[in-house]
């Protein structure tokens, strides 16, 4: 692991690091905020998964999470959204696919399958690295994210309910297999058989029996992607009649931007901290 930068913030340390990833077959960069409480012992870990076109830097620069993380003593880990590099296949004309758009799945179609393994990277490889190099209590992990990252947080939590103690999302893509801005990426990453896509779809995972105790979702009513891309009511319908305790908060007048995310970031961190 290489240290790219470290800076003191709210008594803790905001760092950016990189390493050679076996899963993604390239160098991957990620950010970690370690709160001041880590000087006294390991702290719980909260994973933040970013949305389309983002890197680790978007939430680090605009998410406004450090004050709340320092207050509650929570480590925040911000991975990248996809593999990157000259040898990594890409579609530079499509912001919804390729670089910046890994969709937190493991591709099985060529030429994407070698590098686009963000599910295994987030759920297996990077946690091992974080556990080895940071004062992290890996028995207390939560996960949240925005948009494509909200989709990733929901699906990863639903598939690993024994690992994660909390899950929330900002404006998640709840059914990417049918959403206009994600179904095309699924077809290219996973092949033309939609039945193979269900493992990375929060609604379909719940319908097939996956469970998580409690989930918080915030969604802006002025979000331009609400009707065709996000559709949180589909996840609400999927959770009805199950033991999943879903809180869906429709936030009046908020859009899809980091102005929305930063407004409710402290709420989410406090919510996670209470469960971690």
CA 96/CA 118 separation, integer angstroms: 15
Tell the residue number behind the tokens 């893509």, with chain if given: 173
> Catalytic: 196?
no
Selected catalytic residue, list 56, 72, 146, 256:
256
Work out whether strand 12-21 and strand 26-34 pair parallel, antiparallel, or are unpaired: antiparallel
Query: Which 3 state secondary structure label does DSSP give 149?
Result: helix
Half-sphere exposure of residue 205: CA atoms within 13 angstroms, side-chain side: 24
Selected catalytic residue, list 147, 166, 168, 182:
147
Selected catalytic residue, list 218, 223, 268, 272:
223
Q: Among 147, 160, 177, which residue's Cα sits nearest to residue 260? A: 147
> Catalytic: 223?
yes
Burial category of 110 from C-beta neighbours within 10 Å (exposed 0-12, middle 13-18, buried 19 and up): exposed
Written as six digits, the tokens of 237 are 């319908």
CA 61/CA 142 separation, integer angstroms: 21
> Catalytic: 245?
no
- Give Cβ neighbours of residue 222 (< 8 Å, ≥ 6 apart): 253, 254, 255
CA quadruple 52, 57, 63, 66: dihedral positive or negative?
Answer: positive
Q: Which residues are catalytic?
A: 147, 223, 256
């Amino acid at each position: 692991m290489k240290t790219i930068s470290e800076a003191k913030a709210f008594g803790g340390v905001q760092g950016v690091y990189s390493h050679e990833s076996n899963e993604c077959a390239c160098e991957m960069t990620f950010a970690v905020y370690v709160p001041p409480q880590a000087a006294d012992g390991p702290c719980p870990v909260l994973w933040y998964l970013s949305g389309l076109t983002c890197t680790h830097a978007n939430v680090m620069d605009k998410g406004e999470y450090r004050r709340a993380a320092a207050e509650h003593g929570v480590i925040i880990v911000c991975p990248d959204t996809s593999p990157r590099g000259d040898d990594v296949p890409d579609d530079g004309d499509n912001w919804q696919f390729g670089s910046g758009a890994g969709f937190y799945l493991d591709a099985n179609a060529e030429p994407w399958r070698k590098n686009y393994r963000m599910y295994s990277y987030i759920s297996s490889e990077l946690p091992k690295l974080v556990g080895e190099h940071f004062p992290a209590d890996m028995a207390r992990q939560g996960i949240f994210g925005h948009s494509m990252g909200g989709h990733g947080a929901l699906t990863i939590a639903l598939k690993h309910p024994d690992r994660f103690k909390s899950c929330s999302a900002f404006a998640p893509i709840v059914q990417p297999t049918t959403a206009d801005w994600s179904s095309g990426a699924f077809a290219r990453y996973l092949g033309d058989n939609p039945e193979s896509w269900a493992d990375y779809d929060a609604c379909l995972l719940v319908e097939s029996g996956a469970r998580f105790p409690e989930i918080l979702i915030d969604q802006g009513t002025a979000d331009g992607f609400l009707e065709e891309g996000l559709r949180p009511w589909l996840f609400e319908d999927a959770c009805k009649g199950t033991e999943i305790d879903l809180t869906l908060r429709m936030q009046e007048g908020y859009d899809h931007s980091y102005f929305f995310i930063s407004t409710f970031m402290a709420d989410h961190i406090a919510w996670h901290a209470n469960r971690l």
